[in-house]
Amino acid sequence: MKKLLRVIGWLFALVVIVIAFAMVHSTANGYIRWYFRVGGTVTVDGRKTGYLHANTTRTMLLVTRTDESRPETYLVPLPDRRFITDCGDWHPIRFLPMPIGDINPPCSIFTDPATVQDAPVNSTLSTSRRSIEFLTASGKRIKAEW
């Protein structure tokens, strides 16, 4: 029995090492980007409700609003600031870092429109140095400051 437990322990350790190596390799080669929770506020019509995640280079922002029964997340690319992508049913876990791969990311132009609760209106996007603001299809004003 001891020998069996030792073999299972070694196999488990080997699997953990392989997964850790794969994550480090994918991150180093740019196949995975990590999004971390950033300090800031998300307001919907002037009421604080939501949270922010940003990638390590601060070029992409995940704005999650929690004013509805189901959280809704918007992906905002910060350098070009031309479009906002709705993430549909997907939203990041509030406090954990999120690894997002370059193959089939959760927020893309291929998001199923049936899963979108309140789509962003791209033409209303306004930015400043440390904030963004836009309207949604239902007329709600979303503002994120960091």
The answer to whether residues 38 and 101 belong to one domain is yes
The answer to whether residues 74 and 137 belong to one domain is yes
Which pLDDT score, from 0 to 100, does residue 44 have?
95
The answer to whether residues 117 and 52 belong to one domain is yes
Task: Tally the C-alpha atoms within 13 A of residue 140's C-alpha that lie toward its C-beta.
Answer: 20
- Mean pLDDT across 27-32: 84
CA distances from 111 to 22, 84, 107, 117 (A): 27, 12, 7, 12
The answer to whether residues 54 and 116 belong to one domain is yes
The answer to whether residues 25 and 38 belong to one domain is no
Taken in order 73, 131, 79, 28, is the CA torsion positive or negative?
Answer: negative
The answer to whether residues 5 and 77 belong to one domain is no
pLDDT tens digit sequence for 37-83: 998 999 999 999 999 999 888 888 999 999 988 999 999 988 766 78
- Domain residues for 98? 33-145
The answer to whether residues 137 and 76 belong to one domain is yes
CA distance linking residue 10 with residue 26, whole number of Å: 24
The pLDDT of residue 111 is above 80: no
The answer to whether residues 130 and 118 belong to one domain is yes
8 Å CB contact between 66 and 50: yes
The answer to whether residues 10 and 37 belong to one domain is no
The pLDDT of residue 7 is above 80: yes
| Tally of domains in the chain | 2
Q: How close are the terminal C-alpha atoms of the chain, in Å?
A: 55
The pLDDT of residue 30 is above 90: no
Which pLDDT score, from 0 to 100, does residue 80 have?
67
Residue 117: burial class (beta carbons within 10 Å; 0-12, 13-18, 19+):
middle
